[in-house]
Structure formats: C-alpha cells, structure tokens
Structure 1
Amino acid sequence: MAFARLLLALLLLFAAAPGQAASLKPLSVYFLDVGQGDAALIVSPTGKTVLIDAGPPEAQATLVPRVKQLVQGPIDLIILTHPHLDHLGGMSRVIQAVGVRRFMDPGFDHPSDAYRKLLDVVGEEAGQVMTPTPNPSAPDTPLSIGLGEGAALSILWPRVPQEPFLKSTRSDANSNSIVAKLTYGDTSFLFMGDAEPETEARLLGKPLDLSATVLKVAHHGGRYSSTAPYLAAVRPQAAVISCGARNDYGHPTAEALGRLQDVGARVFRTDQDGEVLAVSDGATVTLTAAQGRAPPVVVKGQGPGAPRASSGPKGKSVEIVVGRQEPAASGSGSRYVSLKGSKVFHREDCPTLKRAKTQQRTVYPDRASALKERRPSEDCKP
C-alpha cells in the first residue's frame, strides 16, 4: 500500500511538471455563440463540466441543443457571474434540459423577476447551491475547485464575507461579477464576466498571478473595462469577445479593441467568428472559430501561473466544502474527507488524513454526499 501511494505521488508529480505538459489529456473551452451575451462551457480532461453563464433569453433555441450535444448527463457546476439577463436568460432552460449538480453565483442581491425565477428553478433542480466564499481555514486564498488531471478553477472575486461587495460603482452588479481563472499545465483562461474598472483595480491590488493564455474579455468589449494596467498584468495571448452582430451597444468598442491590440492579443469575436473552441494540451492552446477564420490559431502557455491560493498559507489545508457544514463534535469523525487527486473518501478522524502531505481536501457533510463522487477507503472503511 505504501509503495502504491508513493508511485501515485510520483505519477502526479511528473504529470504536473512543465516539461511533461504536452502529454496531458485535452481540456476544452467552448465560447458559445449566444448573441449579445455570455456563455462558455468548460470540459475538463476527466469530463467534468462547468457552464459559465447562459446568454440572453433569445439564445435558448440554439444554446440548449448545443449544450445537450456537448454534455452527457447533468452539468457538474453552473456559474452565473452576475444577475443580468444577458448572462442568465438561457440558464433555466439549460438546467431543466440537462440538469445540474452544483450552482454558484456571487450572492449579490438583484431585484429582477428573471433572477428570482431562475433561483426558483435552481432551488428545485440543483443538488447544491453555493457562493464563492473563501475557505475559513485559509481566508486569504481564493476558493479553488479541482476538475481532475491537474485542472483547477479558482474564484478570484468576489470574496464576501472576507471582503465586502464593491459599492457605488457604475454598475455594482457588474463590478461584483464572479471572476474565475482556469489553469491547466502551463496554460490558463481568465473569465471576467462583466467586471468593471473597480473590479480590475481591486484584483491588481492583490498578490495574484493574473496572467492568462486566453482572456474572456469583460463586458462584451465595452470601453470601460479591459483597462491598460489590467491587460498589462494579464498579458493574454488570445482574447475572446462574446457579443451580438450589430448590437445596440456598439460592442466591442474601438477603445477596448485598441488596448487588446496594444498587448498583442489575438482577438476572436463571436459576432464575426461564431462559436470559438479553445483546446489546451497543457502547453499550448489551439483556438478554432466556427466561421470566418482559418486555419486554427495556436498560442503558447506562459507557465504554471496558478494563483498562490491553491496551497494555502503556511501549509494550512485548503478544503473544498460540499454542502451545508455543521460543526462536527470533537473526535466524532462525523464528516467525510477526500484528498486532492484521490478517488476515495475517509472518515474525518482517519489516521491516513493526518499523514497525508497534500493540503487540499474536499469535505462532505454526510456519507451519502461523499458516495456521489467517491468510493469508501479501504483503510478506515467509512
């Protein structure tokens, strides 16, 4: 057993090494063409699926069948970056058509009927509803969600309750969009929602690696976001703008396009290119447009670049908490825990957990929740 664990650790180490990045299984990101709105589907190397936004209501007719083509079974996680109609309009239909295991939004209250109706559907259909609350045991680090084979999605903003929502901005709903960074090998993707300049300034003030191979441009290429200082920190090799043809907002604006050009980003636009598929092998990302552009564009990853969040400060463990957690009685072992990269779960008081070197772990509130994703460990037989 000890030798098997050592062998597994070595395999994981070599899989994560930059020199081995090209041998990784592919990770795909579909920037879906939903007109004047946003929708992106992540399919991890292990088949985990994450849908970030779901376009405006008028996109439902094409979005739902496209998602059904790409996803087998319920979506593992749906993220609503913020409660605006051009990001949530197709979400209820997608959830009802394919299902969802977990749903995340910023927790920013918004008085729209469409948002309230979506939450009603989520309450009925989603297995878990969550907000990107930083782990209490590592409050200075972003929430990190493992997607298998070393792929991880880190939530950089918002950070309530550790930090309050941004207020008195041009649009507080936009300013508190979920900003997420997907890392895989030497490549990374930064999803900006409709983040505002205040959001970008707040992120620039943090000890985060904001660099990204591919940038999902904020607010459909509006002139206020994608500020020059922020783009200088991100240094995107490619940028994807999700917007509708001949939209009423003039997106993307000349100002945003000019700033992207200044940092040398290769720009894709769903209004001209249709759906954009970005496939990472861990070393490079190949972007292919459904229309209007050939051949595919290949860009190189900049390096590991994951937010320092993942390991936690001073060796403290970083837990991905599943479901509502109640404090366990001391020594009771009433919760169940799985280590990062493991396919099994343990009782919380299992000696194996105390000996484990990995710092990231998933905590389940009950055995039934753990059984949905893992099998029981042979050592403690939870």
Structure 2
Amino acid sequence: MAAFAIGVIGFQLLPWPLAGWLALATLPLLALLLARTRARQLGLFTLGVAWAAAAAAWALECRLPNALDGRNLILEGVVIELPERTAVRQRFLVRPIRIVDYPANRPLPRRIRLAWYGRTPTVHPGERWRWRVKLRQPHGLMNPTGFDYERWLFQNRIDATGYVRNTLQARRLDTAWSVDALRERISRGIATALEGQGAAAGVLTALVTGDRRGIDPATWRDLNAAGITHLIAISGLHIGLVAGLVYWLTGGLWRRLPQVPLWLPTPIAQTVTGTLAAMGYATLAGFSVPTQRALIMLMVLASARLARRRIGPLRAWWGAMAAVLALDPFAPLGPGFWLSFTAVAVILLVVRRRPGVSRRQELIGLQFALAVGLLPIMSAWFQRCSLIAPFINLAAIPLAGMLLVPGALLATAALWLLPGLGSLLLQGLAWLTQSLLAGLGHLVHAVQPLVLLPTPEFWTLALAAVGATLLLLPAGFPGRVLAVPLCVPLLVGVRASPSPGTAWITVLDVGQGSSVVVRTARHILVYDTGPAWGGGNAAAASVSLLPFLRSRGITVVDRVVVSHADDDHSGGLAALLAALPAANVVIGEPFATAPSGARLCQRGQAWQWDEVRFRVLAPRGRGLRGNDASCVIRVASAGAALLLPGDLERAGELELLEQPGSLSADVLLVPHHGSRTSSSAEFIRRVQPSLALVSVGRNNSYGLPAAEVINRYRRHGVRVLRTDRDGAIQLALGVDGYRVRARLRRDRQAYYHMQP
C-alpha cells in the first residue's frame, strides 16, 4: 500500500517532463515486477505511477481542444453543485451533455465553469439548459508564488471555462432531482428561517450542507486568522464527529435492547450505523473532495472492523491513503490531502497512554502537536499560520462537535417536520454563533494572530518536516535536540537578494495589464500595480503582486510608480497601499484613486539605489493626459539597462527621441502591450534592445500584441518574451550585462499546466 501510494504521489509532484519519463520508464517493468515476489513492492510502486499517468492522460484528453479555444459554441448541459451569485453575475459548473460541432473523436469536457453576466434567469442545480457560450481552455496566471488556478481547475476536473454569450438564446430544457438541488433547497430553508442573522446564518448553512456562499469575506478573514476555517468546511473532522456521535448513540441504544445484540452484535451495529451516518452527511455536503477523502478513510477502518480483522494504526493509515489515491489520483495536488493525512499521522504519533497525564493535558498537548506537525504544510501551501489556533481549537472543536454540528443538523431536520420548533432551534443556534463570531472578531483584531511565513525552498521544507517529526517524538529520542534548529530556516526564510550594483527584475503575469518589481540590494520599486477586476483587483489577488512581495519578506515598498491612470496599470494601487506601506508614490497623471501625497512624475527626476541608477525620461510637462502621460523610467546597472515606457504611443515616442542623452536599453518593456499605436521603427532603432518583454493577457479582446509589432521587433533582431505564453519573467541586470533568470510557465511547468 505504501509503495503504491508513493508511486502516485511521486508522479504528481515531479515537474514535467520528468513525470512523463518516469511513467514511460516504469510501464514495461510493471507486469514483470508484479509477478516476482521479491520485487512486488517495486512493482506496486510502478503500478502507482502507471495509474497516475493513465488518469492524467485521460484528464488531458478531456480538455477543450485548441481549435475550439475562444470560439462561440452551442452547449447543452446540466447545472451541478451550487451556483455562486453576485449582483452582476452568476457562476456555476455544468456537466455537458452535447456541444454542437464538437470533434467526435474527443471526449466531452467533464465539467465546464461558466459565468453569466447581467440580468439573467436564475439557474439552479439539476436544471438542463442550452446556451450559446464562448469557451476557453483552462488557463491561469503563472507567477513565482500564489494561487495556482490551473492546478485547482485540473484537480476539480474542470476542463473548460467560459461565459454565456446571448441571454435571449438561452433555454431551460428540463429540471431533474439531484442531491445539489436538495442542498440548495435546504440552504434556502435555513436562510429563510434565519433572515437577517448575517454571518451566523452562513456558518450554520455551511455546517449543514457545505454551502459557504453566505459567509462574508470579513468573517472568513477572522476565521482564517484564528485558524479554525477547517471547522466550517465540511471535511474529515465533521465526518468523524457525526460517525462517532451515531456510533456512541447506537451503543447506548443496543445496550438497552437485550435481545437485539444476539442477532446483530453491538460493535457491528455501531460500525454500520456510524458509517451510514457519515455517508448521509457526506451526501448532504455534496460529496466534495474533502468529504470523499474522509469517507474513504472511515470506510477502510469500518471494513476491517466488519471483517473482524485487527488492523494496526500505521497499516490503517497507509491503507486509507492507498484507497484515496486509487479513487482520486489527483488528491496530492490540493492541500486538503496533505493536511488530512498529516493531521492523522500526528495524532497517531503523539496520542499514547501515559501514566499521570490527564485527559485535559492530552488534549492540550495534541493541539500544540498538530500546530507543530502541520506547520510545514501550512508554510508550503498558504505561507501563514495562526498563533492562537491551538488555544481557539481547544474550545472550538468540542463546541462545534458536541453542539453546533449536531444541533444544526437536528434543527434543520425539525424545520421540515416541525417548522416552528426547527425555526426556534435555529434562532437559538444563530444567536450563539453570532455571539461567538463577535467575540472571535474582537480577539482577532486585538491580538492580530496571523503570521505570514516566507515561501519555503524545498530544502527548508524538508528540514522542517524532519524537525517537526523529531519534536513530536518522545523525550530522550536520539537527535531530538536538533528539532528546533531544523525548523529555523523555514520560519525565518532564506531570502536571496541581489548584490550591490545588480537589479533583479520581475515582470509579473497579471493578465491584460502591467506590474513590474525592481529589487536592488536594499530597495524595492514597484512599477504599475496591475488591473482591477470585478469584485477585486490584481494586487490583492493571490496570484500576483502582493503574494510575490510577501514571499520575498518585503514589508515596505520604497517607491511605487504608476505610469498613468489607465485601470490596467493603476487598478491595484489602493489594495497594495492598504496591505504594505510605501515610502512614496509617483504617478504619471492624476487619477481618482491616487493617494493625496502622490507626486507627479517628471523628466529629470533621478536617484540611485545600491549602485543602480534610475532616471525619469518622460513626461516633460504636467499638462499631458492619457497614454502619452506615461512615466518612462530607465533602470541601469553597470553593465545593462531596462526601459519601462508604460503605454507610450507614437507621439510620446517621438518626443522621447528628441531629447538628448542615452535612450538605449538592453531590455525593453514593450510600450502599450504591443499595440499598433506604439513601437515605431524609429523608437526600436534608438532604444536598440536585444530583449523585448510584452505584458499581456492571453486571448485578450484587444488582439494584443499586434502581429505586425512583434514582427517589427524580430526584424530588428530582438528576442520577444510574453507573459501570456511565458508567465512571469525574471531578469538580472548586472555588471556583465543581463540574463533571464526564469520564465515561469516554461521553467516550472507541471503536466497539467497549459503548454505555451
């Protein structure tokens, strides 16, 4: 079981193409090794690799074909899961039944994530619709740190995204019963009974049906800071609590029925009813991935008990992992898999009967052991931890397990059988929940317990895992004294920085917009902050500017330059300044969201940081507006230079060419994202770049960069890199010139990432 599990995990974690070569190398040996007793472990390892590779190949085959990317299509499908709704759009998952003109030799996408904007009919789970849609292949921004949207889509079996094109052509064809329809009906019933209760209603609904749409962002931030979001998302803890509660109740009932245990022994009855209760609760939660994983783990133990076989804790752990990976080989691509199995491993490691230790002391020790054991996982996936999580969980877990979860389930059942009683019970639980949330909010705001951790290197993560394991072992274990030193690199971070005279440049992938970070030995310049998006902005998103700065341990930005007022350059400024203080802000032209102390950018401004020179080349005056008001900055080390021209157009380029002084640069951020109105031949000849960088969104509606502009650069012998194809681009300007340090989409690509 261990060999099979390691094979699956190894394939998922290896970068591409190493994972592919591993699969090809092991497949011919599979039959031979499985047949030989002495090599069976190696054979099962290759079986794990082969299973993961076969599942990956099928999943990639289900993706939207290249030929249909960005095309308008007629889609017929069934709405699944619970739609997300805001004032301006609906977003929902569709299981396609038919797509007109879809290739007959390709399987349909397993799931499609659709958005429907404007005033539209409300969609519900179980409904069958026909829409005219525009579909895209699964694609996300690719940056050094932050949320990997493509991995999330792949793990959740979403093979295409898109939006509804024409509301008038949409047709509701049929409505069928489904579990998700039942969940939505129950959620509506709870919401009606708790109208006006705010976050409490959202929390109770989440505990019953797994529907977290009613929890507002402020409440999520408080729960996250306290380290108890796992109590809201139905997962292993909830499944175990419900199964354990029913197991205990069944035992009490069976002991009071003297004849019944003669034909159905009490342990068997307890196991069956506990497992059935867990299955029912998992169904009510929509069989989400965490509930499926928890249910599989529980059924492994239940099967052993029903078969009257003793199963040791370690064998049960490996057996559950092998079962999970056999049914879901993509589980290691999400944090839930690692958190679940690591938490169980910690419990198995530290929970042991010790004389003189009370039950309360054991529980307190367990919470701190979980905090230590899960620290490497939290650092790797979330780069944060909560200082008060062990203390809060000591009270929150029993409260949720013994009161809120069973109370909410009982009250919801009563809501349909005895509406008055059910509503009264829900109101009481809502009052208690609201009081607890209010107290939690005050505590979080007073203590500020959330600690941001640096993005770990692999070696710091490995050392911390060894250190955490040593720390959890019994006192006197050899080498235990090394536990804390092994964890230190993970906690403090090992942050490389450029040497004096060198600048590190990162052109972030922010979609259709621009954001560049320039780092010298001791200073940080942010040039543009990316676009604003509906309901948020790129600077606040988990895949762009703020996560990158935080992962590098940057707590203060020395200077923020916003080239001009266009939203795709200035949209993230407010969020950036709210999260990180900036010494000063420079803007190319005034705009509404600029801070009151911002200074206007003007030709002639210059400064030097750590032997790297910065010079403003434009704009010349203060009366300019629009793209030609862009703040143009030349960054020069001793051996190379970078030119940042914003959205400068031809008129601005000509004015720039007229001024005296050097305009040459080895690296050029292509003006205006490669628009036809920029990058004149005269401008390219004067700058003489050898590398041009285009910050642009994939398949953007503007058709940027223009093919004629890219061809113009290539005719001048300029190498072109693009964020839509290369992801974030990292460079170093030094004494010996410049070098490309990374092209994220190519250098860190996994098999599930879209190929450039």
Same fold (TM over 0.5): yes
Structure 2 counterpart of 1:56, one-letter code: P
Q: Return the offset for 1:151.
A: 0.6
SS of equivalent residue, structure 1 residue 190: strand
Candidates 626, 632, 639, aligned match of 1:186: 639
Q: Return the offset for 1:67.
A: 2.4
1:267-286 matches, within 5 Å, as 267-286=720-739
**Which structure has the larger Rg?**
2
1:320-353 Cα shifts (integer Å, max 9, x gaps): xxxxxxxxxxxxxxxxxxxxxxxxxxxxxxxxxx
Q: Return the offset for 1:280.
A: 1.8
Equivalent-residue separation in structure 2 for 1:71 and 1:238 (angstroms): 29
What is aligned with 1:86?
568
Equivalent-residue separation in structure 2 for 1:220 and 1:35 (angstroms): 11
What is aligned with 2:692?
239
Structure 1 counterpart of 2:515, one-letter code: A
For the pair 1:38 / 2:514, whether they are aligned, the reply is yes
Structure 1 counterpart of 2:640, one-letter code: T
Change (3 A) 1:25 1:185: closer
For the pair 1:54 / 2:529, whether they are aligned, the reply is yes
**Which of the pair is proportionally richer in helix?**
2
Checking the alignment, whether the CA contact within 8 Å between 1:67 and 1:94 is kept in structure 2 is: no
Q: Return the offset for 1:282.
A: 2.1
Checking the alignment, whether the CA contact within 8 Å between 2:602 and 2:618 is kept in structure 1 is: no
Candidates 87, 96, 100, aligned match of 2:582: 100
For the pair 1:26 / 2:502, whether they are aligned, the reply is yes
Candidates 633, 655, 659, aligned match of 1:202: 655
Q: Return the offset for 1:25.
A: 4.9
Of all paired residues, the percent bearing the same amino acid is 28
What is aligned with 1:342?
none
What is aligned with 1:380?
none
Equivalent-residue separation in structure 2 for 1:179 and 1:145 (angstroms): 14
Q: Return the offset for 1:226.
A: 0.6
Equivalent-residue separation in structure 1 for 2:660 and 2:552 (angstroms): 36
Q: Return the offset for 1:34.
A: 0.3
1:86-133 Cα shifts (integer Å, max 9, x gaps): 011111111111111100012x34xxxxx41x22xx23xxxx532234
1:294-320 Cα shifts (integer Å, max 9, x gaps): 9xxxxxxxxxxxxxxxxxxxxxxxxxx
**Which of the pair is proportionally richer in strand?**
1
Checking the alignment, whether the CA contact within 8 Å between 2:640 and 2:736 is kept in structure 1 is: yes
1:60-101 Cα shifts (integer Å, max 9, x gaps): 312222222235221000000000100111111111111111
SS of equivalent residue, structure 2 residue 559: strand
Structure 2 counterpart of 1:43, one-letter code: R
1:79-228 matches, within 5 Å, as 79-106=561-588, 108-109=589-590, 115-116=591-592, 118-119=593-594, 122-123=595-596, 129-133=598-602, 142-148=604-610, 150-160=611-621, 165=624, 172-228=625-681
List 4+ stretches of structure 1 deviating above 3 A. 23-26
Q: Return the offset for 1:293.
A: 5.8
CA RMSD of aligned residues (A): 2.1
Equivalent-residue separation in structure 2 for 1:222 and 1:51 (angstroms): 23
Structure 1 counterpart of 2:549, one-letter code: V
Equivalent-residue separation in structure 1 for 2:606 and 2:712 (angstroms): 30
Equivalent-residue separation in structure 1 for 2:649 and 2:502 (angstroms): 32
Q: Return the offset for 1:186.
A: 1.8
1:135-165 Cα shifts (integer Å, max 9, x gaps): xxxxxxx2112112x211100001226xx53
Candidates 735, 745, 750, aligned match of 1:291: 745
TM-score, structure 1 as length reference: 0.61
Equivalent-residue separation in structure 2 for 1:282 and 1:223 (angstroms): 34
1:329-368 matches, within 5 Å, as none
Structure 2 counterpart of 1:72, one-letter code: I
Equivalent-residue separation in structure 2 for 1:228 and 1:133 (angstroms): 25
What is aligned with 2:42?
none
What is aligned with 1:76?
558
What is aligned with 1:260?
713
Equivalent-residue separation in structure 2 for 1:261 and 1:27 (angstroms): 26
TM-score, structure 2 as length reference: 0.31
Q: Return the offset for 1:269.
A: 0.3
Equivalent-residue separation in structure 1 for 2:651 and 2:731 (angstroms): 28
Checking the alignment, whether the CA contact within 8 Å between 2:525 and 2:558 is kept in structure 1 is: yes
1:336-379 Cα shifts (integer Å, max 9, x gaps): xxxxxxxxxxxxxxxxxxxxxxxxxxxxxxxxxxxxxxxxxxxx
Structure 2 counterpart of 1:152, one-letter code: R
Equivalent-residue separation in structure 2 for 1:159 and 1:185 (angstroms): 26
Q: Which has the higher contact order (CA 8 A, sep 6+)?
A: 1
Checking the alignment, whether the CA contact within 8 Å between 1:68 and 1:98 is kept in structure 2 is: no
Equivalent-residue separation in structure 1 for 2:721 and 2:577 (angstroms): 28
SS of equivalent residue, structure 2 residue 746: coil
